[in-house]
């Protein structure tokens, strides 16, 4: 006999009900609450966070309906060393992922999960990644004991009853289990402002489309719709079903004649991704609008082109470095309805972080300590975040919620490189573009756990921490997609805003001036801008890059567009070593591209 659904469950879907009942039996929460996605519910979550000491209201005259949250100092970023891909075969996880046997991992976590929500409420969060009902979108159901996670999921995804209605009786949804791992096991157990556990696991079961997360309440460790679902699980689903789930922004670019193109771009964290997504062009008559700042799902349309959606509804951005100078549109987005995590609190109830603007004379830092500019330490954590509704972005494109997606004309790769990589180059083909993406490298940032800031790290397609399967197979999937799409595939470009002079000064002004590079890319897609063939790809011909009115140092443009033959030759052993990581899984097409590059370099 079928069990009756719980009173507040807005579904009769047996797979959803069974999932929730199983979680309830395991976690043993005091209450179960099905999230309906209303504004009232979101406000209730914020109130619960404030009442529990997790959050504090900001000055409503400064930041209406916004809160500041400080996490435990031991829970501030992704924990890559405790992030696992639990595929049935270790070979399917590949050399760049931590692998664990799925049965063993579930046994380990089941013990940790047993009673982990005693004294707490288990929230059931049905969510859609992408516009509800879009053929490119996907649905998940997440259970969590964190009101912080629920509030963030409200901003970052589409939550509630409409999602369950769209799912109907289908069992095709991602199952997410999350707990902070801090049960209130006796009436005397005191809660803390930021409950978490020293033991942390973020685990993914690709074949069964499950995410099991334990011990962390922060960011992508707890917002299971974000990297866990939208990239690690979705990348596997995309491989299986013939589409692409990528760590890319989506930008709409419109020229003075009113014609638009859509560009997707992959950069590792803290390489200017959000800045580019909200660009304000400096070239008269050009307009840039945001479709998405972080994740891009692409499927072939009826016309054979790739169409993309932004599966998210919010921005979970790195705060330090965000300012009116670096990203005016982000700052305009952050005026109200924001969750700030691990930033500083000013004496007048506003927020502050490094490089935001004028320093306050005094503030309370992210660890709740008194801070002044003379303190000798940052006021905000380097990975401090803002969670902001995308709809508030002043340059959000009208197509950003189009269920059909937007047609992608160009794909950009890039990273922080002080030398060797020029300002911009165009790939010779889709396969060559795949090669360029596969060898992407960037200087390490604070968004990734561990030391070595500044050290070079190869991060293919900016997917190294996020690819849910063997990256050798992932490269092969890119090649297969190119073969399927043929001449209708987007053009591929490689950019580097971070080239430095021998004296260590940035050669390119970056930020809004990157629109000049985008203009050349737009015109290359039209076949109107001039380019020259070089051993590393097509570079702007002399005068093809619009630098009218740009104040660049004498000789800087020559340096920015120089093909550093010796530098590229010196990189070949490092590329070979990188490729050797993938062993027999490395596509022969990429080995051939490397051989071709070496031959062209002479």
Cα-trace Rg, the chain: 24
* DSSP state for residue 593 in the 8-state scheme: H
d(CA 495, CA 518): 10
- Nearest Cα neighbor of 263 from 273, 376, 271, 352 is 273
Nearest to 82 by CA among 409, 423, 465: 465
Residue 271 falls in the annotated catalytic set: yes
d(CA 601, CA 11): 61
255 in Cβ contact with 241 (< 8 Å): no
Exposure b/e, 406-434, CB count within 10 A at least 16 = b: bbbbbbbbbbbbbebbbbbbbbbebbbbb
CB-CB contact of 550 with 516 (8 Å): yes
Task: Assign 111 to helix, strand or coil.
Answer: helix
Strands (E), 198-352: 201-205, 210-214, 244-246, 249-254, 260-266, 287-292, 296-300, 306-309, 314-318, 339-341, 344-346, 351-352
For strand 67-69 and strand 55-57, is the pairing parallel, antiparallel, or unpaired? antiparallel
- Give the residue among 274, 226, 230 at the shortest CA–CA distance from 249: 274
Q: Is 231:466 a contact under the CB 8 Å cutoff?
A: yes
Active-site residue, from 86, 271, 296, 525: 271
Q: Which of 475, 314, 325, 287 is nearest to 385 (CA)?
A: 314
CB atoms within 10 A of CB 33: 16
- The C-alpha atoms of residue 136 and residue 139 are separated, in whole angstroms, by 10
User: First and final CA of the chain: distance in angstroms?
Assistant: 74
Rounded-to-integer distance, Cα 20 and Cα 27, Å: 10
Residue 340's SS3 state is strand
Q: At what angle do helices 471-485 and 430-438 cross, to 10 degrees?
A: 160
Q: Are 308 and 406 in contact (CB under 8 A)?
A: yes
Would you say the C-alpha torsion 364, 369, 375, 381 has a positive or negative sign?
negative
Backbone angles phi, psi at 494, to 5 degrees: -125, 125
Given a contact cutoff of 8 angstroms between Cβ atoms, the answer to whether 281 and 288 are in contact is: yes
Catalytic residues: 271
């Amino acid at each position: 006999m079928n069990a009756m659904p719980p009173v507040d469950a807005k579904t009769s879907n047996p797979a959803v009900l069974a999932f929730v009942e199983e979680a309830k039996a395991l976690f043993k929460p005091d209450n179960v609450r099905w999230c309906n996605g209303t504004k009232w519910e979101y406000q209730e979550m914020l109130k619960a966070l404030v009442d529990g000491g997790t959050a504090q209201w900001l000055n409503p005259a400064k930041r209406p309906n916004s809160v500041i949250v400080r996490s435990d100092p031991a829970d501030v970023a992704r924990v890559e060393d405790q992030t696992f891909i639990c595929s049935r075969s270790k070979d399917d996880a590949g050399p760049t992922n931590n692998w664990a046997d799925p049965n063993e991992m579930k046994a380990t976590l089941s013990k940790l999960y047993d009673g982990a929500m005693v004294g707490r409420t288990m929230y059931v969060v049905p969510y859609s990644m992408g516009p509800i009902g879009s053929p490119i979108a996907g649905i998940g159901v997440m259970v969590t004991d964190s009101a912080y996670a629920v509030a963030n999921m409200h901003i970052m995804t589409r939550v509630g009853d409409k999602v369950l209605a769209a799912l109907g009786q289908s069992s095709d949804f991602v199952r997410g289990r999350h707990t902070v791992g801090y049960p209130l096991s006796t009436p005397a157990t005191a809660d803390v402002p930021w409950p978490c556990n020293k033991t942390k696991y973020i685990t993914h079961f690709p074949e069964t489309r499950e995410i099991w997360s334990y011990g962390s309440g922060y960011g992508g460790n707890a917002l299971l719709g974000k990297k866990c679902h939208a990239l690690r699980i979705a990348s596997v689903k995309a491989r299986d079903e013939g589409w692409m789930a990528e760590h890319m922004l989506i930008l709409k670019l419109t020229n003075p004649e009113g014609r638009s193109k859509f560009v997707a771009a992959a950069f590792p964290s803290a390489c200017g991704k959000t800045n580019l997504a909200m660009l304000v062009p400096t070239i008269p008559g050009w307009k840039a609008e945001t479709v998405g700042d972080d994740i891009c799902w692409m499927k072939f349309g009826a016309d054979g082109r790739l169409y993309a959606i932004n599966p998210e509804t919010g921005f979970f951005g790195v705060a330090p470095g965000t300012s009116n100078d670096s990203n005016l549109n982000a700052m305009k987005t952050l005026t109200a309805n924001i969750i700030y995590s691990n930033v500083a609190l000013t004496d007048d109830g506003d927020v502050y972080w490094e490089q935001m603007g004028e320093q306050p004379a005094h503030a309370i830092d992210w660890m709740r300590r008194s801070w002044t500019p003379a303190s000798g330490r940052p006021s905000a954590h380097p990975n401090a975040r803002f969670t902001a509704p995308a709809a508030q972005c002043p340059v959000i494109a009208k197509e950003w919620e189009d269920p059909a997606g937007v047609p992608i004309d160009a794909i950009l790769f890039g990273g922080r490189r002080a030398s060797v990589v020029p300002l911009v180059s165009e790939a010779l083909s889709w396969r060559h573009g795949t090669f360029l993406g596969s060898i992407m490298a960037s200087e390490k940032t604070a968004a990734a756990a561990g030391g070595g800031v500044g050290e070079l790290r190869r991060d293919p397609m900016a997917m190294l921490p996020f690819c849910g399967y063997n990256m050798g197979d992932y490269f092969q999937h890119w090649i297969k997609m190119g073969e399927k799409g043929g001449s209708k595939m987007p053009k591929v470009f490689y950019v580097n805003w971070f080239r430095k002079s021998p004296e260590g000064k940035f050669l390119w002004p970056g930020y809004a001036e990157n629109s000049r590079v985008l203009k050349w890319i737009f015109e290359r897609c039209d076949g109107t801008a001039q380019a020259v063939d070089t051993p590393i790809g097509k570079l702007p011909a002399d005068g093809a890059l619009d630098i009218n009115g740009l104040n660049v140092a004498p000789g800087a443009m020559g340096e920015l567009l120089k093909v550093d033959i010796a530098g590229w030759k010196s990189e070949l052993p490092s590329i070979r070593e990188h490729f050797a990581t993938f062993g027999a899984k490395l596509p022969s097409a990429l080995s051939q591209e490397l051989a071709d590059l070496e031959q062209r370099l002479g």
